[in-house]
């Protein structure tokens, strides 16, 4: 035990010597000029000979804190540099009294605490898993390599500039950067509520490129629908799992394309969330979906009452599987055991390839989100008001105009080319 204690003291001494040598190296690696001390040596201002602008740097020794804190003052004026250093020392003294860290929390430790938090709640959600994957793959390596312990809006902007140039696969699209900015903001907001950072950090939102969203035009949509009918029929002659998967995916596609709901909203949809309201039409009622997603909860009115048929197909499938009616709290899109289906992505991508509609006319690959874009496109072509459609989709009019402006012009083609004979009244005095 005594030997172990001595070893620990030796290691601690070596660690302190190493830190001192590192501090000395930082100051001596480039020739120091004009060094000046203030506040009984607590503040040392100095310039480096190889810096063309001769900006003042400062080294601060904070009482009751180990080592030194180094900062750039950002000015070549001695008076301004001294004022900056003295204000910084005052700020550090307050932090020491409050028991706070001078350099902020280490990002790796913050991520570990976040992971512990979500694991304590139970199984992480898809978004929580995405946040952790992004932080481990890009954020932690960047902030560790650059020895950044204080997070600022500017530093995060520089991080995303770096992120654009460093990808595990191909260069990310700007839509990917926008998504990653969103999940990073979610993580930082959580850190603020837990007291890991002192204030909310604003993230400069990347500008969307305004590009069109891959969707199904009418020709390819009809082609896909015809293919789906035969595809499901063929599945009826195969094993149970194949037929079940095809029925579920087919109706999933039809429901998303006729409601415009997001993938995450569909994932959490339960039978109790499907409702109907009387319609001015005698033949059918309006089908209402109560969904919850990234923009909160809202009621979504389906494009047509025929959507009820798609829900009924899934309901009948579940009744046969269970030998009874499913509970209303059960997920609509679920596995045999009732658990929500996490993703239809692989099945969807395989389906559109087989159907020959994987790419749109601009050679952009269609994804499941193309169903939402198809809904928006068709509704605009049918003349639905932008404001009403935006409310139903849980988005903004600006987003619709930005991404579907071409659709609006196409929808107004008849209006723009309309000719009308105008009768002019002859005036009495002519």
Q: Poorest-confidence range of 5-9, 38-42, 166-170?
A: 5-9
Q: Does 264 score more than 60 pLDDT?
A: yes
Average of per-residue pLDDT across 196-214: 71
CA distance 200 to 204: 13
Nearest residue to 396 via CA among 376, 367, 411 = 376
CA dist 402 to 150, 186, 391, 405, Å?
36, 25, 16, 6
Query: What pLDDT sits at residue 403?
Result: 75
Name the average pLDDT for the chain.
Answer: 82
**C-alpha count within 13 angstroms, C-beta hemisphere, residue 126:** 11
- % residues pLDDT > 90 (the chain): 39
- % residues pLDDT > 70 (the chain): 80
Q: Poorest-confidence range of 96-105, 196-205, 252-261, 324-333?
A: 96-105
Angle at 26 between CA 23 and CA 32, to 5 degrees: 115
* More confident site: 303 or 101: 303
What is the per-residue burial (b if ≥16 Cβ within 10 Å, else e) of 170-184? eebeeeebeebbebb
Query: What pLDDT sits at residue 10?
Result: 53
Query: What pLDDT sits at residue 146?
Result: 65
Name the band, by pLDDT with cuts 50, 70 and 90, for residue 302: very high
Name the band, by pLDDT with cuts 50, 70 and 90, for residue 27: very low
Name the band, by pLDDT with cuts 50, 70 and 90, for residue 269: very high
CA distance 424 to 430: 12
* More confident site: 230 or 11: 230
**pTM assigned to the model:** 0.57
State phi, psi for 321 to the nearest 5 degrees.
-65, -40
CA distance 192 to 197: 5
CA distance 422 to 430: 19
DSSP string for residues in 33-87: EEEEEETTTTEEEEEETT-TT---EEEE--TTSSS-EEEE-S-S-HHHHHHHHHH
Residue pair 257/240 in contact (Cβ under 8 Å)? The answer is no
Average of per-residue pLDDT across 40-50: 87
CA distance 18 to 236: 72
Nearest residue to 49 via CA among 34, 69, 63 = 34
End-to-end CA distance of the chain: 119
Name the band, by pLDDT with cuts 50, 70 and 90, for residue 335: very high
């Amino acid at each position: 035990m005594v030997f172990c204690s001595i070893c620990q003291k030796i290691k601690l001494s070596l660690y302190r010597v190493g830190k001192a040598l590192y501090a000395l190296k930082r100051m001596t690696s480039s020739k120091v000029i004009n060094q000046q001390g203030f506040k009984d040596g607590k503040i040392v201002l100095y310039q480096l000979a190889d810096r063309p602008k001769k900006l003042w740097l400062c080294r601060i020794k904070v009482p009751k804190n180990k080592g030194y804190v180094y900062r750039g003052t950002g000015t070549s004026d001695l008076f301004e540099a001294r004022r900056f250093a003295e204000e910084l020392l005052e700020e550090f003294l307050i932090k020491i009294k409050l028991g706070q860290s001078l350099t902020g929390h280490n990002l790796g430790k913050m991520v570990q605490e976040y992971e512990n938090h979500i694991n304590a709640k139970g199984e992480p959600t898809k978004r929580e898993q995405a946040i952790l994957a992004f932080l481990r793959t890009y954020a932690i390596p960047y902030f560790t390599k650059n020895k950044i312990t204080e997070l600022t809006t500017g530093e995060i902007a520089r991080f995303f500039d770096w992120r654009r140039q460093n990808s595990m696969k191909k260069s990310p699209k700007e839509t990917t950067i926008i998504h990653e900015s969103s999940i990073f903001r979610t993580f930082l907001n959580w850190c603020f509520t837990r007291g890991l950072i002192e204030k909310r950090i604003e993230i400069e939102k990347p500008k969307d490129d305004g590009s069109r969203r891959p969707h199904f035009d009418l020709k390819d949509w009809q082609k896909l629908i015809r293919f789906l009918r035969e595809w499901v029929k063929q599945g009826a002659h195969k094993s149970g799992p194949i037929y079940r998967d095809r029925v579920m995916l087919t109706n999933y596609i039809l429901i998303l394309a006729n409601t415009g709901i997001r993938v995450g909203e569909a994932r959490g949809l339960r039978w109790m969330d499907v409702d109907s309201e009387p319609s001015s039409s005698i033949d059918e009622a309006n089908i209402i979906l109560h969904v919850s997603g990234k923009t909160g909860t809202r009621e979504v009115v389906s494009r047509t009452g025929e959507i009820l048929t798609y829900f009924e197909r899934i309901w009948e499938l579940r009744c046969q599987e269970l030998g009874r009616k499913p509970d209303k709290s059960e997920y609509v899109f679920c596995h045999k055991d009732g658990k929500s289906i996490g993703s239809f992505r692989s099945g969807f991508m395989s389906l559109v390839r087989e159907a020959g509609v994987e790419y749109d006319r601009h050679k952009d690959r269609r994804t499941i989100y193309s169903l939402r874009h198809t809904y928006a496109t068709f509704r605009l072509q049918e003349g639905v008001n932008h404001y009403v459609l935006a409310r139903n989709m849980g988005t903004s009019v600006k987003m619709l105009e930005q991404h579907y402006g071409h659709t609006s012009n196409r929808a107004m083609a008849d209006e723009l080319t309309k000719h009308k004979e105008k009768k002019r009244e002859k005036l009495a005095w002519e």
